Homo-oligomer: A and B are copies of this chain.
Amino acid sequence: MNTDSPSCLVQKLSHYVALDEHSLDSISRLERDERDFSKNDEIYQGGDENTYLYVVKRGWLYSYADMKDGRRQITEIHHPGDIVGFPDIAFDQRTSVLRAAEDVRLCPFPKKDLDEVFSQAPQLAALLFALSVRNQVILTDFLRAVGRMSARERIAYLLLDLRSRLRIANKSMTTTFRLPLNQTEISDVLGLTNVYVSRSFAALEKDGMIRRSNGHVEILEEEKLAKICDFVDRHVGLDTSWFPPSNG
């Protein structure tokens, strides 16, 4: 049972639109169950049957895909309030692996529950749709980073993007945040090696753009960082003008 403080999913979704009654009903149904996983647990694997999605209640996770020879690409980082698994709902098998970057708590819910969302809660359906396609834009920005930026620029991009995302859920956040990913994981996000992540991180720090200490990062020169990677914050706003009228 969900005994936590007000659901962080509701909190995140309410950031964008006033949820009507049908939407709130549907959400609470998605958060009935809870399950804990430990750091480095793999919640599912590519090829697994694909019947559940997960709301993240606590902790960071990431999705990755790897090649037979071991090369790995992390394709998404998941934070509390995120729904994990949407990209796979179009398939009956998993297309990626979900792994806990630290100890986490998840709310699994069956994918089949979505039919009710579409037929009973069109507002929520539209919102989930909007967030899902927005993710595509964010992924697209990342593709540009990986395809066209130097190592330094990619790290700058990642840090600014993480900060923007975390700020949605935690408005009081300052310029410092916790980064529970090791450099090998970061390198797999950015298409680099752990060694070069280390060097580039050190270079950014030496230039006074950032500061690091025990798992935390501080953004010192936000504007300079944003400039070297053409950063645009995609997380703040959402155009809801085309949503169906709310019928709560």
Contact = CB atoms under 8 A, between A and B. Distances in A.
Interface of A: 50, 65, 67-68, 71-73, 75-76, 86-92, 95-96, 111-112, 114-116, 118-119, 122, 125-126, 128-137, 139-144, 146-149, 190-191, 230, 232, 234, 237-239, 241-245
A91 B136 contact: no
B111 A72 contact: no
Total copies of this chain within the assembly: 2
Given A119-B122, A129-B132, A92 B143 contact: no
Contacts of A118: 122, 125-126, 129, 243-244
A96 B140 contact: yes
A147 B73 contact: yes
A119 to B, nearest CB: 4
Given A125-B125, A147-B191, A140 B75 contact: yes
Contacts of A245: 115, 119
Contacts of A134: 87, 90-91
Given A125-B125, A130-B90, A72 B148 contact: yes
Contact of A148 (B67, B115, B129, B232): B67
Interface of A is mostly: helix
Contacts of A116: 244
Nearest to A73: B144
Contact of A239 (B89, B96, B140): B89
Given A135-B136, A139-B143, 20 more contacts: A65-B141, A73-B148, A75-B143, A86-B133, A87-B134, A87-B136, A87-B137, A87-B140, A89-B239, A91-B134, A92-B237, A95-B140, A115-B242, A116-B244, A118-B243, A119-B245, A122-B125, A125-B129, A132-B136, A139-B140
Contacts of A88: 133, 137
A131 B243 contact: no
24 contacts: A50-B239, A67-B144, A72-B148, A73-B144, A75-B144, A86-B136, A87-B133, A89-B130, A89-B242, A90-B130, A91-B238, A91-B239, A92-B237, A92-B239, A95-B232, A96-B140, A112-B242, A118-B129, A119-B122, A122-B122, A129-B132, A132-B132, A143-B146, A147-B190
A139 to B, nearest CB: 5
